[in-house]
Amino acid sequence: MAEKVLMIALSPTMETGLISKWEKKEGERVESGDLLCQVETDKATMDYESIQEGTLLKILVREGEQAGIGSPIAIIGETGEDIAEILAEIEAETKDSPSDGTEEVKEEVAATPAIEEAEEYTGDRIIASPLARRMAEHQGIDLTYIQGSGPRGRIIKRDILEAASQPQMPGTPTPKSIPRILPTAADEVVPVSIKRKIIADRLAESKYSAPHYYLKLRVASDGFMKARKMLNDTLSERISVNAFIIKFVAEAIKRHPVINSTWQGETILGHGSIDIGLAVAQTDGLITPVVRDCGNKGIIEIDKELRDLIHKALNNQLTPPEYSGATFTVSNLGNYGIEEFTAIINPPGSAILAIGKMGKEPVVVDGDRIEVQSLMALTLSCDHRVIDGAVGAAFLKDLKDIMENPIRVLY
């Protein structure tokens, strides 16, 4: 009996998924566990493995289109099976559900200028159906570049689908859809990916719901860099600076466990495990692989795990447990030459540490002597609902002492 294949949540924060590639074609046999399609989530591109068996009778969501959790994306059944009843059921459900701009609905065939939304381009109105406008907005397509195929040049649904399927970035001119006047340097409309949208939503929510405050100080880094060199001289692989910082942060959190907490409205959750995330830049956004239980691991073990996680992050291979649930986050832009910066707290954590570059500077030491030292700027962003100013300051002071005197981690 034919069954609908539903979009499932492939990450904890996923609300919609974009089909980036179908691995099976209509008419092909599908076994349980077969890779059915690739789905772009808010964090990465994930494999969708079928839990059903049969023939892929119908693909409902094409490559480049999105579907919400629980929405049908395909139909699997026996070869030659009649699926008209299922298609009618899906169509009825679609009509009853709120429009998101991508569902199948009946196209209007006549323009209605009296109620048509007007946009101006070189003195001419752009005529497009309401559905086409919603789809274009949803997919980031500039209507000024679309040549409509409907009555009187009206832009309709199939024009948007064709533009979205072009190999060029949607919104840039194509041979079929060149605007009448081309500027010297054309604007480029880049559609917002699911990942970028979730990053924007989460960070905006964090920034405007969590009352941030910031603590800054400079750390003499010669001590731990010397310790790092001594350790690396005994190993075949060099331990990264980030591994040292994560270990130092974990030791400072042990002394100030409230830093490792989450605001939950009526309660504050104190986490038993120190799970530290490191912000890693990808081509289409930011992801935070998490090293678990850092308080009970040594620097070598942390570095090995971090190396593997970063490799996966840069190749879009992280699984949800590997990038979610950091109780504290480190963001290091020192390699870019950034002297100092402030970072937005990454939920569910209540604090994030921003690391600037290491650079030599003259410092006044005991006896009013001037000495050249390597200094690094640290900026701690704290959620004031959880971490009071004095607590954040004490944590940052202890972290500075540990980094300047690494032997402190031994007691």
Residues forming the active site: 384
- Which positions ≥6 away from 352 have C-beta within 8 Å? 328, 329, 330, 331, 343, 344, 345, 346, 380, 381
Q: For 104-113, b where at least 16 C-beta lie within 10 A, e where not — what string?
A: ebeebeebee
Query: Parallel, antiparallel, or unpaired: how do β-strands 268-270 and 261-263 relate?
Result: antiparallel
Residue 348 Cα distances to 38, 198, 208, angstroms: 28, 15, 15
Q: Is the peptide bond before 348 cis (omega within 30 degrees of 0)?
A: yes
For residue 250, count other CB atoms closer than 10 A to its CB.
Answer: 22
Cβ pair 81, 57 in contact under 8 A: yes
Exposure string over 159-178, b if 16+ CB within 10 A, otherwise e:
bbbebbebeeebbbbbeebe
Tokens of 342: 């402030």
Rounded CA gap, 195 and 120, in Å? 32
Would you tell me how many other CB atoms lie within 10 Å of the CB of residue 381? Answer: 26
C-alpha to C-alpha distances, 125 to 90, 106, 108, 135, 158, nearest whole angstrom: 35, 23, 18, 19, 20
Say how far residue 7 (Cα) sits from the centre of its chain. 19
